[in-house]
Structure 1
Amino acid sequence: MDVQLCVEGEGGIDPEALRAAVATASQACPGARLVRRGQRWVDGGIVPAVRVADAADFDRARLDSPLLRTPLTGEKSPSCEVVLVQGSPTTVVFRANHGVMDGGGAMLWQTQVFRALRGEPVEGAASPLTLEEVMERIADRLGIELPPRAAPSPLTWRSPLGNAPKGPRRSLWRRRTIDGAHPAATARIVRRVATHGPAQGPVLVPVDLRRYLPGLRTTGMVSGAVKLGVREDDDWTDVHAELLRALGEHRYLANRNDPYPMSMPLPLLRSLYRWIDGMAVQNPDFLRDRGYADTAACISHLGTVDLAALGTAAFEATSCYALGGVGFSPELAIVECQGRTEVTVAWRDGRGAADRVEALLDEIEDELSPRAYRVPAGEGARPTAPPCTLQALLAEQVARTPDAVAIEGADGALTYAELDRRAGAVAAALHARGIGRGDLVGLVAGRSAAAITALWGVLKAGAAYLPIDESHPDARIVRLLADARARICLLEPPAERRACLPPGCAGLSLADMPYDEPHAWQDMPGEPTDLAYVVYTSGSTGAPKGVEVEHRSVVNFVRWATRECGIDASTRMLLIPSISFDVAGYAFFLPLLAGGCVLPVREVNAATLRAAVEDGGATAMAVTPSHLELIAQSGVRRSTMRVVMAAGELLRRSTALRARDALGQQCRILNQWGPSEAAIVNTSHEFDPVADTDAGVPFGRPMDGNALYVLDARGRFVAPGELGEAYVGGVQVARGYRGRPDLTRERFVRLADGTRVYRTGDLVRRLPGGELTFVGRVDDQVKVAGHRIEPAEIAQTVEEHPLVRQAAVLPRTRPGAAPALCAYVVGDPGVTPDELRGFVAERLPRNMVPAAIVPVPEIPRTPNGKLDAARLPDPFAGVPADGTAGEGLDEVAAAVAGIWSRTLRLDAGLLDERADFHQLGGDSLLLLSMVREVSRTVVGRGEQEFMDELVRIVREPTLGRVSDVAREVRDRRPAGLTE
């Protein structure tokens, strides 16, 4: 049998560089150079070969290639080799005889090869210890005796040697990529295989023994194994508990080699195995029926792979998976990498084998990621119309209504014909300066008719526009234009007189455009996949990043939003957001492509917003909830508003109610959601004051052409009702970040089925009716003892106090301590922080009560209307942690918390009874270590009773549950029994 690890990725690897790296790594890892001399493996000093093939030599769908079937015997052929399959994707296969390396050893070897490829020093793995010697050292370390070797296998005595088939073994490999990393994946898969798989019976689980000898660095075959029997009525928690017991009882040391077969002459041994193999091909149940194999499968979990360690400057690894050897039973291999779980099956090919393996993989995928969770919100939406460009849609509208008013502002009104002529003048001026399809043009302006005309001129020239608010400081404008590599920037007075252009970017004044001169401009032809605009956003990285949005994405938004929002020729839409905020796109596109009118609001404050709503005859507006709150509190007395689109942040029910009262019952309030990276917004929900009773208004379902997936922090699809991060898919997903391929790869990812999605960073919850509600931001999240804390929920609670007008809650870092919550409050001077803290404590769990409450005169906002956290004071600056977290634990729980602290290497003071061992980073072996320590030091002589309660702990691995079990077992001891 051979071990085969496949590293798949994008980019190329030079074959000669790979050969040199294999030589370097194999010098430090001599286990890769072993050859067979009689009954022994010795260092032959021969560098493993690198074979190069092209994509035609490797069937990726079937994982089939003659290159993977060549046996590595270590006699006349090598014991290890590397296969480089060039193409897209590029695949590097590390192959080794299983007698030379196990999966852990092959992982170590491949990592060193990539270190050498990157020019980094390799880390040796030269230990010559054999499996038997490793087991002896582990037994000595544990102070136990090794069990005796097993008796000679019946296989040795009962197998006739005649009729052995000739030729290589007929193997079958299949692979399934599953979203997410799944705790207890081995136990879950064991149960599926043992009870519903292609073969039933006990399952063998290899155990990498390197973990039990810290510092051991060997590529050798040093794996033990435990055998798990599974009953029909067992669930995965029963299997997981049994696996932990097997590890705790060191059953992996019982898998010692039977010396008898190894003493047989090699030709005889090979003939024996060829005969068995051939009979198994003819009849998959042959081995078990005759007692030659007593396990249903072998299931190996090879751990988590850091793909960054398997790349170079020219090659980026995207996945790693294992193709196991085919022994007497099916072999399954599990590898976790990049938020996914790779599961592969190796089995003998034969009648119906492929169908049985695919059925097994279906069951395994459904076990780890239930099919019902994988169905995206938005599936079944009506099909989208054929894509086109924005300038084509405007040309059609101009032809329909040339004399209708398109823009009405302080400087007068423009008809559609005038808008088209002026935009054509801008396009002609840009074309004269060499601007055309594929170029990006900066636009520094305010909310004005000139700005709207200019951006349409850029689109008519076939280029894309970069909108920048004129209120931005010069330094920021320079930074954005330079980062975007814009060669031309359109400037609205007074920006044309400012020092805001970087070298290589020429300014062009909108005031000097020859709007009234005749021209015969014809729009440049384009494609739906052309770039329409770039909008810069900030984020957790701290550096602004330019989102590249294509025409097809905006056109899809326009089509469904026009219908959903009731936009038509009678629409008069206010332009309120900054032009640099993508929400301004509502006004740029929706009314102008439906025959309506745009009403720019030059200055945005309570007075101007009130006047715009009352006196302008506006029927629609798109605003942030912060702006909507400002309008609602501005004293509006009359309104012709028919629809409000709220987007950009959480819309609270209290804000929606106040807005409804101010704007009138005839006004629909639509809560719409979506990131800039997916063309403005993607979902919609009409506020219903009767049905929408939660603090936050739902944001609905994805609209046409959009899909939304909800995944947890481990990349797993969550059940309906659970909290998770929103991933957006569909036609509106942006091209990526301009000039940032690294960040694009990080945020624009693919699900296991290949679907391209954007990770929004927004935390959402799917409601029972299928709609979604916004909860908070991943990057604003605070974790206390493994629990996610959503600041928005706390802010809503603080605002329920009658003397509080507005509140914001943010995580702040305390020196030497975990992040803590800080509430900023605008309210009556008579309300004190202590009073507010008590008010919140009566309504929320203790770990959601802010550590600090700071009165402020106002909550600062960015030009886009979002919370400006940088302008709020940090109450923890220079102040040590208060040390209050973790109080309230009794003696037993405190002792358990101390053990968790040592096991997981975290602050015990941050733990409470709801802390979850897995959420805090614990795996199965750490869980076993923790349970044994609790049974030894907290329970005392009730150790075995405590270990018998493993199933309860596995099902709910919280500090409270472990403490409860410890108390129960300790209290069951006979009276008078002491520790």
Structure 2
Amino acid sequence: MRIATPPFYDGGPAAPSRTLAQIFRSTFSSYANEPALDDGVSIVTYGELESRIRDLHRHFVELGVGPGERVGIRRRSGTVELYVAIAATLLSGAAYVPVDADDGEERAEYVFDAADVAIVLDDHGVQTRRSGHSQPRDPQPDDEAWVIFTSGSTGRPKGVSIHHRAAANLVDAEYELYGSSQPLGPGDRVAAGLSVAFDASVEEMWLAWRSGACLVPLTKADMRSGPDVVEVIRRRRITALSTVPSLLMSITDELPAHLRLVILGGEACPDVLVQKIAGGSREVWNTYGPTEATVIVCGERLTPDRPVTLGRPIAGLRLAVVDADGRIVEDDGEGELVISGVGLGHYLIDPGQSPFRPLEPLEWTRAYFTGDIVRVTRGELFYLGRRDDQVKIAGRRIELAEVERVARQIPGVRDSAAAVHKDEDGSPVLVCYVVADESVTSSTIRAGLQRGLPGGVVARVGRLPALPLSTAGKVQRSALPWPLEPEALASFSDSLHQRIAETWREVLGPIALDTSSNFFEVGGDSTRAARVVVRLRTHYPAVAVADLYHTPRLDEFATLLTSREVPTEEEASREVRTRGHRQALFSFLAQNVAALWWV
């Protein structure tokens, strides 16, 4: 990292200008017989991937889809077909617009309409939305590579467009950054478990496709397995993993030795996690970057003897810190982080008061003001938090205004306000407070929020007679009640259902539950599912997080646990006596059969 004058952080020259298509063709040429994708069902070599892309590209040409057009992607996670669709779109010159398969229909339609996609590739094939108007040609550095939608302060998701020049610079810079002692290459297996609607998924794909390593698609159940994710890493022989810190915070077993590269991002990285997983030959990196600046802008290799910092910029990017008056913060101060360089994208629709603007003290003609507050100490950058209402839940960026907008669209909801609190374990809890008609149930409100919010973002519901307002008439978020008032718990017919309900409430808060309650519809997520499983393993050692995903209804989950309960001492003693009687009877029969045989 170089320090310039006036002081800013400089990643050095950008990588040579090229496209993702050029990177792909280089990999196809060098590693045709190496595995490119392995979803546990089928293995596709780079040569076979090129052939499948060529077949799909011919169909694109027939539909007029190529440079200048956009392709919607909405396929199940964990499949080869999802990544073939993305690769084919990029090589055709069109831009891909991903939507998580678990996102509600309302959000998916909004994204595809706002991006004006010509076709959508889903699990049923190719869905045509309108005629394409592109002529076939090779993509150029200035062509769009993808549009990823992130939460907007207006309450509507906003699309961020990234071009091939910026995307290829990221891919080449990361290839030089990671694996300094042993670069990734054939024989490595890179996990692909993040939603492709989350920009960090780009890192997963291209860690493999730039180096000739194998991309290993993982299912949602794999990535939501909490403490059991270590077994997934072991079973799928993962050597490189890019993920959010909260996934690894829940593990209790040691990570397998063959996992030699771990890249963390999307959330603040706790020092305790570094102590847990870093050290030895394994590389562990903390990375930072907004969607608007092509996934990551800086990173630092973590070691147990150093605090977690944001690190240094990657090639082609520069960072600066400005105070509230727009002055550059040189050292031992706080301010907003500002980014400039080749990685900057742009919004499909300028939201007004754009965070893209010049940074005059440094004569940067175009910079991105992140809204993230950092502290500068002896040249190191430490993340402190946000200066606005943007939050991160499960690594997904979301504006509180979007939560409030979705809530207000639910019939019977008159007003809403959203806030983030901490539960007893210190995990963030998104709460949507509503003023609603008595005829509208909390479950109806939860279902409406689930339809309109990104997949994986779950909000608890707090009901109020009125929102607390300041003298200026604005909502006072600090006055919103927390913890929430306990809701009534149904009476259950047996102790097992009661135990499950009480465990859920320990983790999710004092919410109303009955036998039909669905864990993930009443506020559960992957982190909280792991905490439920840890509590239940005292009585049910074999229970796994995947069980809760397969049977999320309380009554169905109880049925599953019935077969896994540890017997009491009296039951175990009875089983031993019964087993003894069976063995004595078997011995008596065997002796008589033997005697008959001798006769």
Is TM (by shorter chain) over 0.5? yes
Compare 387-396 and 559-568 and name the one that shifted more. Answer: 559-568
1:240-251 matched pairs, under 5 angstroms: none
Aligned length: 417
> Aligned partners of 1:588 and 1:396: how far apart in 2?
15
Pairing 1:441–2:39 present: no
Q: Which amino acid aligns with 1:653?
A: D
Shift of 1:742: 4.3
Q: Corresponding residue for 2:156?
A: 543
1:76-87 matched pairs, under 5 angstroms: none
Identity %: 27
Q: Corresponding residue for 1:748?
A: 356
Q: Corresponding residue for 1:771?
A: 380
Q: Corresponding residue for 1:679?
A: 294
Q: Which amino acid aligns with 1:755?
A: T
Q: For residues 785-836 of structure 1, what are the alpha-carbon distances to aligned partners after superposition, in whole Å with 9 as ceiling and x for unaligned?
A: xxxxxx99xx9xxxxxxxxxxxxxx9999xxxxx9997431449xxxxxxxx
Task: Tell whether the 8 Å contact from 2:75 to 2:82 is kept in structure 1 after alignment.
Answer: yes
Q: Which amino acid aligns with 2:236?
A: G
Q: For residues 605-639 of structure 1, what are the alpha-carbon distances to aligned partners after superposition, in whole Å with 9 as ceiling and x for unaligned?
A: 12663332111221111111222324x34x45634
Q: Secondary structure at the match of 2:24?
A: helix
Shift of 1:732: 0.6
Q: Judging changes above 3 Å, is the alpha-carbon distance between structure 1 residues 469 and 553 closer, same or farther for their aligned structure 2 residues?
A: same
Pairing 1:613–2:233 present: yes
Q: Secondary structure at the match of 1:746?
A: coil
Q: Which amino acid aligns with 1:657?
A: Q
Task: Tell whether the 8 Å contact from 2:144 to 2:163 is kept in structure 1 after alignment.
Answer: yes
Q: Which amino acid aligns with 1:747?
A: P
1:218-617 matched pairs, under 5 angstroms: 374-378=6-10, 381-447=11-77, 448-493=79-124, 504-505=129-130, 524-566=137-179, 567-569=183-185, 570-603=187-220, 604-606=223-225, 609-617=229-237
Greater RCO, CA 8 A, separation 6+ = 2
Task: Tell whether the 8 Å contact from 1:613 to 1:636 is kept in structure 2 after alignment.
Answer: no
Q: Corresponding residue for 2:306?
A: 691
Q: Corresponding residue for 2:543?
A: none
Q: Judging changes above 3 Å, is the alpha-carbon distance between structure 1 residues 382 and 523 closer, same or farther for their aligned structure 2 residues?
A: farther
Q: Secondary structure at the match of 1:469?
A: coil
Q: Judging changes above 3 Å, is the alpha-carbon distance between structure 1 residues 506 and 771 closer, same or farther for their aligned structure 2 residues?
A: farther
Q: Corresponding residue for 2:269?
A: 651
> Aligned partners of 1:622 and 1:877: how far apart in 2?
44
Q: Secondary structure at the match of 2:374?
A: strand
Q: Corresponding residue for 1:824?
A: 422
Q: Which amino acid aligns with 2:246?
A: S
Shift of 1:741: 3.0
Compare 381-390 and 426-435 and name the one that shifted more. Answer: 381-390
Q: Which amino acid aligns with 2:366?
A: R
Q: For residues 24-48 of structure 1, what are the alpha-carbon distances to aligned partners after superposition, in whole Å with 9 as ceiling and x for unaligned?
A: xxxxxxxxxxxxxxxxxxxxxxxxx
Q: For residues 508-543 of structure 1, what are the alpha-carbon distances to aligned partners after superposition, in whole Å with 9 as ceiling and x for unaligned?
A: xxxxxxxxxxxxxx9832221110111010133321
Q: Corresponding residue for 1:289?
A: none
Q: Which amino acid aligns with 1:700?
A: G
Q: Which amino acid aligns with 1:433?
A: L
Shift of 1:576: 1.4
> Aligned partners of 2:86 and 2:4: how far apart in 1?
44
Q: For residues 862-886 of structure 1, what are the alpha-carbon distances to aligned partners after superposition, in whole Å with 9 as ceiling and x for unaligned?
A: 8676xx4x713458874758x9xxx
Q: For residues 297-350 of structure 1, what are the alpha-carbon distances to aligned partners after superposition, in whole Å with 9 as ceiling and x for unaligned?
A: xxxxxxxxxxxxxxxxxxxxxxxxxxxxxxxxxxxxxxxxxxxxxxxxxxxxxx
Task: Tell whether the 8 Å contact from 1:723 to 1:765 is kept in structure 2 after alignment.
Answer: yes
Shift of 1:470: 0.9
> Aligned partners of 1:575 and 1:653: how far apart in 2?
25
Shift of 1:682: 0.8
> Aligned partners of 1:688 and 1:600: how far apart in 2?
29
Shift of 1:905: 14
Q: Secondary structure at the match of 1:568?
A: coil
Q: Judging changes above 3 Å, is the alpha-carbon distance between structure 1 residues 636 and 691 closer, same or farther for their aligned structure 2 residues?
A: closer
* TM-score relative to the length of structure 2: 0.63
Q: 2:459 aligns with which of 855, 871, 874?
A: 871
* TM-score relative to the length of structure 1: 0.40
Task: Tell whether the 8 Å contact from 1:613 to 1:640 is kept in structure 2 after alignment.
Answer: no
Task: Tell whether the 8 Å contact from 1:684 to 1:702 is kept in structure 2 after alignment.
Answer: yes
Q: Corresponding residue for 1:931?
A: none
Q: For residues 193-229 of structure 1, what are the alpha-carbon distances to aligned partners after superposition, in whole Å with 9 as ceiling and x for unaligned?
A: xxxxxxxxxxxxxxxxxxxxxxxxxxxxxxxxxxxxx
> Aligned partners of 2:281 and 2:464: how far apart in 1?
47
Pairing 1:711–2:322 present: yes
Q: Secondary structure at the match of 2:423?
A: strand
> Aligned partners of 1:531 and 1:879: how far apart in 2?
43
> Aligned partners of 1:820 and 1:387: how far apart in 2?
43
Q: Corresponding residue for 2:248?
A: 628
Q: Which amino acid aligns with 2:154?
A: T
> Aligned partners of 2:138 and 2:245: how far apart in 1?
38
> Aligned partners of 1:717 and 1:877: how far apart in 2?
46
Q: Judging changes above 3 Å, is the alpha-carbon distance between structure 1 residues 821 and 411 closer, same or farther for their aligned structure 2 residues?
A: closer
> Aligned partners of 1:421 and 1:404: how far apart in 2?
14
Shift of 1:754: 4.2
Q: Which amino acid aligns with 1:583?
A: A
Task: Tell whether the 8 Å contact from 2:103 to 2:455 is kept in structure 1 after alignment.
Answer: no
Q: Judging changes above 3 Å, is the alpha-carbon distance between structure 1 residues 421 and 877 closer, same or farther for their aligned structure 2 residues?
A: farther
Q: Secondary structure at the match of 1:388?
A: coil
Pairing 1:732–2:343 present: yes
Q: Secondary structure at the match of 1:741?
A: coil
Q: Which amino acid aligns with 1:765?
A: R
Q: Judging changes above 3 Å, is the alpha-carbon distance between structure 1 residues 471 and 506 closer, same or farther for their aligned structure 2 residues?
A: farther
Q: Which amino acid aligns with 1:717?
A: I
Task: Tell whether the 8 Å contact from 1:678 to 1:732 is kept in structure 2 after alignment.
Answer: yes
Q: Secondary structure at the match of 1:685?
A: strand
> Aligned partners of 1:731 and 1:478: how far apart in 2?
31
Structure 2 runs not aligned, ≥5 long = 394-399, 405-416, 427-449, 479-599
1:748-897 matched pairs, under 5 angstroms: 748-752=356-360, 753-768=363-378, 770-780=379-389, 823-827=421-425, 868=457, 871-874=459-462, 878=466
Task: Tell whether the 8 Å contact from 2:162 to 2:294 is kept in structure 1 after alignment.
Answer: yes
Q: Corresponding residue for 1:700?
A: 311
> Aligned partners of 2:188 and 2:386: how far apart in 1?
34
> Aligned partners of 1:639 and 1:613: how far apart in 2?
10
Structure 1 runs not aligned, ≥5 long = 1-370, 508-521, 782-790, 796-809, 814-818, 829-859, 884-900, 911-979
Q: Which amino acid aligns with 1:775?
A: L
Q: Which amino acid aligns with 1:704?
A: A
> Aligned partners of 2:419 and 2:116: how far apart in 1?
40
Q: Secondary structure at the match of 2:338?
A: strand
> Aligned partners of 2:164 and 2:67: how far apart in 1?
12
Q: Corresponding residue for 1:667?
A: 282
Q: Secondary structure at the match of 1:655?
A: helix
Q: Which amino acid aligns with 1:609?
A: V
Q: Which amino acid aligns with 2:170?
A: F
Q: Secondary structure at the match of 2:382?
A: strand
